[in-house]
Structure 1
Amino acid sequence: MGGNHTQTKFVLLGITDSPSVQVPLFGLFLLIYIVTLVGNLGIMVLFWVVPSLHTPMYFFLTHLSFADICYSTVISPKMLADLLSENKTISFAGCVTQFHGFAFFGIAESHLLAVMAYDRYVAICNPLLYVTVISNRVCRQLVASSYLFAFLGAIVCTGCTFGGSFCGPNQIDHFFCDISPVFKLECSDTRSSKIVIFAFVTINVVGTSGVILLSYISVLRTVLRMRSAQSRSRAFNTCASHLTAVSLFYGTISFTYLQPASNHRSLDKVASIFYTVVTPMLNPFIYSLRNKEVKGALSKIMENTVLLVGFLPL
């Protein structure tokens, strides 16, 4: 990254400057972060230990859980520390690293959601070809390409965001290093960087959401042609969880990044809290509460655990 970086550190203004609100928010977000870690790690452990879940859908779900853990960890620990600290500074290198991690895992998640939609399309629309089309090798290639594109995209966005000169104020009006509040601190012309980032975000969102939309249009057409009500219900249930996760993720992302610069920073912060903190916590519940296979695997593990504890000597 080029540019004249005269700033060595930034100050994150955070979610609120009211001391009476900061402690309750700390407790709430700490609980959310713990639930995020436990829930997503639980999904990953289930996939590893339950043979019946060794399928492409759960392979992709495991990587989605991994991305959610990392995505949340890039943001939450610093945000929690700042809620209880008067020193809310972050170094320039730390700010760059945080943003790069945020961009990397955010882009990876959007591509993994698109891959999961394609998986559901093949499973429902071409079930006889599913084993051939979504082979183990293809699964690994799809996940690897998601991470590769995310890495390249994060490099581009990070370079554009931090490539200018920072010679003025150093206060970031946000709880993490995000594009818009960082751009406001740059002394150099940021128009070309903003155009590049907006174009990239638009292509990424439109591309991945387009794959999801086309996949589910085909799924809907196939499901409506099914004669059995039970088959239609089963097909809808396998897609409902994924559609819920997609709606939560893309809804808040689009509100934040695909709109003109907002003067309502409080609304932007609420939207940012939702997709960086809340959504990673909700995904394990979305995919497990409506999923009979996951619930069955959980109950079997709990039964085996109870039996094992019962045989242990006191």
Structure 2
Amino acid sequence: MSEKQQSNEKVLLVFNCHEPWVYQLDSLGYKLDIIIGLKGRYQKTWDQKMRPVPTNSNLLTLEEAQNSKTNYYCIITHNLTDLLDVKHRHEPRLIVLHSTLEGRISEETGTVESTEMRNTLQEYLTLLGGHAVAGTDLKAKSWQITDDVVNCGVDVNDYLPYSGQDASGLRICNFIENRKKILLWDLHEKAFSDIPVKLLGHNPAIPDSTAAENWDDLKRTLQSHRFFIHTAAPNLEDGFNMAVMEAMATGMPILGNHHRSSPIEHGVNGFLSDDPDELNKYAKILLNDRELAAKMGQQARVTVAERFPISKFKQGLLKSIETARQKTKSRMVNL
């Protein structure tokens, strides 16, 4: 590649919040400088158990990013700490809201008020000319600082065809101990107390919880298990997440609670109930009828392909990046 080609290459500086989300950025066609070793992360580097490192990317430390001579096309952040860490850089910046404001506060140990957190972020974005994009409609409504929404995307062709040969449920989530209220964990425990359920994720406090060896191993696990579980408090979290989308892409039926944002239609591509006894009944129906599970799972695959294609994520985030670049022109401080 010539020096001119290198100078014209668009490069994004990306804080690594969650490997599966960041991996989607590979679809944008830009080079990625991904910041690893961030405080509060359980891994000091890229966690290849979740996703392989994106093809056209470079891993660097925060200090290296702060001092980089690269003129970044946009900086992608995920919280106020990220924004503050690059406050001396001049490039456009985008913050992605991955949680509801209420959910975020429920995880905080302090007593910060929702209005205070919202106003602080809004003032900072106005000052720097930054732009916020929400990961879902619920998160946009919760924060009330943006109407720009870009859902995660999935390519159903990335996943193995469903077999459901293991008569067991599957759930994927991390740090459950700190998120039990958000995840309606009491409903989960009551509903599936006598049901075989494999739990995947980083959960040091739960001995039976293990992480997948890598993305291929995760795909095989999704392929083999009978159904997938997702429960979430409707006022704190969405009725779906990336793991749900991956399960649907594989062709798994979904069990969960009623939720306005859920992509699941009861009795079509999964079962929904707020009653643990009913969820238990539906789980046993699927455990005893693999053909029904496969039929419902196929409908789930159609649903996720139509509603959450990776092309839609790409189109939406490219637009958000351009909006961030436009807002940079109106920043109130010179960096």
- Taking structure 1 as the reference length, the TM-score comes to 0.28
Q: Which has the higher contact order (CA 8 A, sep 6+)?
A: 1
More helix by share: 1
Which one has a bigger Cα radius of gyration? 1
More strand by share: 2
- Taking structure 2 as the reference length, the TM-score comes to 0.26
